Every structure is written in C-alpha cells, then in structure tokens.
Amino acid sequence: MLFSPRAVAAALDMSGLLRLNGDMKSSAPDSTTTTATAMTTTTMTIGAVADRFGLATHVLRHWETMDLLRPGRDAGGRRRYDADDLTRVALILQAKDAGLALDTIRALAAAAADPTTRRDILRREAAALRSRIAAAQTSLELLEGALGCAHDDLTRCPNYRRMVAQRLGTPSRTVSPGCASEPPH
C-alpha cells in the first residue's frame, strides 16, 4: 500500500463507527448492524461516506467502476462501507492530493505485493512531478519578470521579445538596460 492503513485509520478516528446494540437492530438510518460471534460492526451508506469525506456520491461510484473500491452490499443491494473501505477512500484522496491519477492509484494498489513495481511507478510519478514543478517555476519567473518590467506594452519589452525569439528558435538579443526585469534563467 502507498500509506500505512493503521496510520490512516487512526487519522480517521474510526471510534464513531462501532456501536453495540443489545437487540442487534440499529436505530440509525445510515447504518446496518451485522454479527459475527458477539461482535457488532457498523457500516455506512454511500451518502454518509460521501459526506464524511466531502465528496459527491457519484465520485465513490466512479471509483468503484475503476476497481478502486469494493464496498459490500446489504440484502437490498445497497452499498455498505466498512472501516476498511473508509481507509481505502482516505488512501485514494491522499494519493490524489499527491497528484496521482486514478489509473496510477489503481496500478499502485495492484502492485502492493510487488515492491519493485510499486517503486518503479513512484519513480515515474516523482520524475513527472519534478517536470511540472520546473515548468511552474519557469512560468512564475515569466510572470514576475512581466510584473517588474517598466514597459507599458509588454510586447515592446526587449526581454519579452528575447523570450519569444527563443521560443521561435531564432537568435535573441541581450537584455535591454532600460528594462527593470532580468531575463529568466
């Protein structure tokens, strides 16, 4: 797995999911109680899970079609999410926050038992992230250069023209001494 399920479960505070009920019937409209040798586990509906994580229900259904989630079903065929499913949702959200696509998350989940494959996937993703960071840094330098430029019309700025010439692959001139902005590196 990408993240420790135990750490994610602790962060989710699963204590609100367990409830003992003497007659084995739940009074909560969003929970179903099942028994397994004197143990009672409460599950959550798709709406309750969506609310808990700030998601739309169709997102959870989509993740299920992508084989990222496999919630159980009640007798009526409705989805029932247990603590393991909540952990999986949290893992998916953390991976998405890290910039991973759903296909990549699915590949990582499939490679959980194969550390070499998992590391290869993570190395590729890290290289792609470094590339996006470099492109964003270049964009930021361009914007900061434009903000510091003394020319009212940016298209008349020699530094701007030099960058356009570089993009076009034509020879460029040096920085204009009359321009307050420095060329990006």
Residue type, 59: V
Residue type, 152: D
> Whose CA is closest to 144, among 181, 101, 103?
181
C-alpha 88/C-alpha 2 separation (Å) is 10
pLDDT digit of tens for each residue in the chain (185 aa)? Answer: 454 454 444 444 444 443 333 344 444 444 444 444 334 468 999 999 999 999 999 999 999 999 999 999 999 999 999 999 999 999 999 999 999 999 999 999 999 899 999 999 999 999 999 999 999 998 898 888 888 888 888 888 888 888 888 888 887 555 554 455 444 44
Quick count: other Cβ atoms within 10 Å of Cβ 135? Answer: 10
Whether this prediction's pTM lies above 0.75 is answered by no
Q: What angle do CA 59, 5, 17 make, to 5 degrees?
A: 70
Buried-exposed string 10-23: b where 16+ CB fall within 10 A, e elsewhere = eebeeeebeeeeee
As beta bridge partners, residue 79 has: 73
Predicted confidence at residue 82, as pLDDT, reads 96
Paired tokens of 61? 């259904």
